[in-house]
Amino acid sequence: MVRAKDDYDTPWKDAVTRYFPAFMAFYFPLAYEQIDWSRGHVFLDKELAQVARDAALGKRLADKLVQLSLRGGGEQWLLLHLEVQGRRERRFAERMFTYNYRIFDLYRRPVASLALLTDDSADWKPHAFGYNCFGCRMGIDFPIVKLRDFAGRPEALLADANPFALLTAAYLAARDTKGKAERRAEEKWRLLTLLLERNWDRQAIMDLLMVIDWMMWLPKPLERALWQRIGEQERSQKMPYISSIERIGLERGRKEGRLEGQVLMLSQLLAERFGALPAPVQQRLAHATAAELKAWSKAFVRAQTLDEVFMPAAAG
């Protein structure tokens, strides 16, 4: 399934930052054409944090504030406020409005707000917020792009030279293979193989590989088999980034191995004290994080019943 992760550390944020012109060219081509890319661009992450510091405006995959120059020369510059939104949010359009006017108030420069929606809701397309009172009209209309709207043209995406076309294809493949792990493994293999065949620099290959890997999560056995398969192919073709791919796979294997060992040990201790473990408990253990296993192991020492091991208070 597509991960429900929704924080500032996702590979989406890194991809947008590293390949911002390509991001704009693919998703917002009209805006891209109006920007003077020869004059560079500056990300204002700290300044955006200052704007948002005094309000709880909701979580998103990534938000960016970028200082850009316009075509036409002179001192024309503006601020672009970008949101990559990963889930349906009732007050999203209002938040876009709030950010826009706060940024304008801080800089007194034109502010363009854009949104890329990566949620899976077909009918949620917020693009405006406003109100009218005593003849006074206030509000915002902002461009949005919905990733799911690219469905139906997979071959065009795979043929497109823009790296975000490939990431969009990965998103759609992840959505279409939800609950179908073996089919997803094949789709992930196809996309990663295509990526590795692209004539891009090594760092771009590795960056995009990590984003696709994050999007198209697989169960551990299929994931290990996929990395082994990729390693064998790229080793035979003597690709320059194979050592990095192997390191990713090895490091993941070490982490998974440690977790599996911890799960096995805790399962054996629980079964010895409380008897055969119910299926829900086995499932919970199988999908546990390192932090959860640590908390449950500590709770096990004093627990009188199986339920006490997994009580929320035990994690403290």
* Cα(35)–Cα(49) distance, integer angstroms: 24
- Per residue in 35-94, pLDDT (tens digit) is 999 888 998 877 777 666 644 554 455 688 899 988 876 667 889 999 888 888 888 999
CB-based contact 78:104 (threshold 8 Å)? no
* Cα(58)–Cα(173) distance, integer angstroms: 27
CB-based contact 70:22 (threshold 8 Å)? no
Nearest Cα residue to 241 out of 200, 180, 292: 200
Q: Tell me, yes or no, if the pTM score tops 0.85.
A: no
Cα-to-chain-centroid distance, residue 229: 25
Selection from 137-146, 217-226, 263-272 with the highest mean pLDDT: 137-146
Burial of 153 (0-12, 13-18, 19+ CB in 10 A): middle
Phi, psi of 136 (to 5 degrees): -95, 120
Q: How far is CA 297 from CA 260, 265, 313, in A?
A: 14, 10, 13
Q: How far is CA 156 from CA 56, 72, 170, in A?
A: 40, 33, 13
Cα-to-chain-centroid distance, residue 23: 14
* Cα(201)–Cα(244) distance, integer angstroms: 13
- Per residue in 182-202, pLDDT (tens digit) is 999 999 999 988 888 888 887
What value does the mean pLDDT take over residues 252-281?
74
pLDDT above 70 covers a percentage of the chain that reads 81
pLDDT of residue 52: 64
Residues 61-91, buried b or exposed e (16+ Cβ, 10 A)? bbbbbbbbbeeeeeeebbbbbbbbbbbebee
The angle at the Cα of 301, spanning 296 to 303, to the nearest 5 degrees, equals 75
Phi, psi of 89 (to 5 degrees): -140, 125
pLDDT of residue 299: 85
Count of positions (residues) in the chain? 316
